[in-house]
Homo-oligomer: A and B are copies of this chain.
Amino acid sequence: MTIDDVLASAEAITSWQEDLYKDLHRHPELSMQEQRTRTVIANKLAEFGYDVHEVGGGLVGVLANGPGKTVLFRADFDALPVKENTGLDYASTDTGTTIDGETTPVMHACGHDMHTAAALGAASLMANHRDAWSGTYIALFQPGEEIAAGAKAMVDDNLGGVIPKPDVALGQHVLGDLVSGHVGTAAGPVLSTAASLRITVFGKGSHGSMPHLGIDPVLLASNIVVRLQSIVAREIAPSDFGVVTVGSLHAGNSANVIPAEATLQVNVRAYDEDIRDHIIEAITRIVDSECEGMRAPQQPRIEVFDTYPLTDNDQAVYETVTKGLVRGLGEGRVETLNPQTASEDFSIIPDALGAPYCYWGFGAFTADQDVLPNHNPGFAPALQPTLTTGTQAAVAAALAFLGH
């Protein structure tokens, strides 16, 4: 059986695969709380004949198929605290999940449901066509990517002791940057390094009509948000990549009460660890000085979390993967990926296991669709050819190392 035959057989699994995708989309789960999703995946892997292990809240399915290389293919499966606004008939049915003591709607706004459905499809194809390859295929499903927790949790839970050491690791993400049906990759850095900060600033509560008796933390937090813009605008070199996003700001519950504190969540991106560190230092400096200028009665509380490494594709793995993708999908569908603004904790796994890696993107929207960024409440990738492309890309890349 040729690689082309294996890829062509992806058509045969479309029916259950689309149902599974819609089911996952309808039932999103927040990071590190993905019980239902994990059960769905585990059942499928077992059905395909994989040797399944739960590790650190994730799953690994190992398919040993004779002598040869060991390839690890990773997908992630958590969702986001976003209120879905896609109008899909399989939209999220979540009516409120608790995170950090607050109730929030949940949505697969980053496409991890697509990653999971494609990876299960690939796992199925690899299992169905063992005559086309030899070696070991590891289907790894990771929780908690959105909070930089899942890859670390799996590594910390003895992932290295549970699976054979991989020769290469592979991973992919559905992206608006590419047209659905296309894939893209590059050697070197392709995803940014990132960190988040949780900041609480303190004022002094008062009656809404008595500002002079309080210290206004809503104004303090707003001053900080406005001032943070100057880090990217003035402190970072124009040719350097840097992002400072305040994704969340919460203060007060009532119009006529000046609250006593405000909380901000800030996300930082860079393509250089020094620049990331400079940005974090600048945020801290600005928060401190704004608190001083407002006579804040208490030091701000600043906590750094969700630290992501740079995703930096290995040259040799990249070359083999690209050859595989070109052979599998045709040259016209394989592009060079521009460095992405986003980050991934994927590389924590191969780095821990000592394996070189390659990460690629696959297109989310057809040419006639509006492109929405990942995390947007309306993010709804075209079901096809997206899903089949993700499936075939995973198989084509794996067979580049394992195929006869």
Listed in ascending order, the chain A residues whose CB lies under 8 Å from chain B are 80-82, 85, 99, 102-104, 109-110, 146, 176, 192, 194, 196-198, 204-214, 216, 218-219, 221-260, 262, 265-267, 269, 285-286, 288-290, 292-295, 306, 338-343, 372-378
Known pairs A206-B376, A227-B293 / 10 extra A-B pairs, C-beta < 8 Å? A102-B253, A205-B373, A207-B374, A214-B376, A219-B230, A230-B294, A239-B339, A239-B341, A247-B257, A288-B293
Contact A253 B207 (CB under 8 A): no
The smallest beta-carbon distance between A267 and chain B, in angstroms, is: 4
Complex Cα–Cα for A260 and B105 (A)? 14
Contact A259 B248 (CB under 8 A): yes
The smallest beta-carbon distance between A32 and chain B, in angstroms, is: 14
Complex Cα–Cα for A122 and B237 (A)? 34
Q: A209-B343, A227-B223 are in contact. Are A239 and B338 (CB under 8 A)?
A: yes
Contact B258 A245 (CB under 8 A): yes
Complex Cα–Cα for A341 and B260 (A)? 19
Complex Cα–Cα for A257 and B106 (A)? 12
Q: A254-B247, A254-B248, A377-B260 are in contact. Are A209 and B238 (CB under 8 A)?
A: yes
Contact B208 A375 (CB under 8 A): yes
Which residues of chain B have C-beta atoms less than 8 A from A233's C-beta?
211, 228-233, 244
Complex Cα–Cα for A289 and B221 (A)? 15
Which residues of chain B have C-beta atoms less than 8 A from A238's C-beta?
209, 211-212, 232, 241-243, 269, 341
Complex Cα–Cα for A225 and B225 (A)? 11
Contact A252 B256 (CB under 8 A): no
Q: Which residue of B lies closest to A209 (CB)?
A: B341
Q: A209-B267, A225-B222, A293-B290 are in contact. Are A253 and B260 (CB under 8 A)?
A: no
Which residues of chain B have C-beta atoms less than 8 A from A267's C-beta?
208-209, 255-256
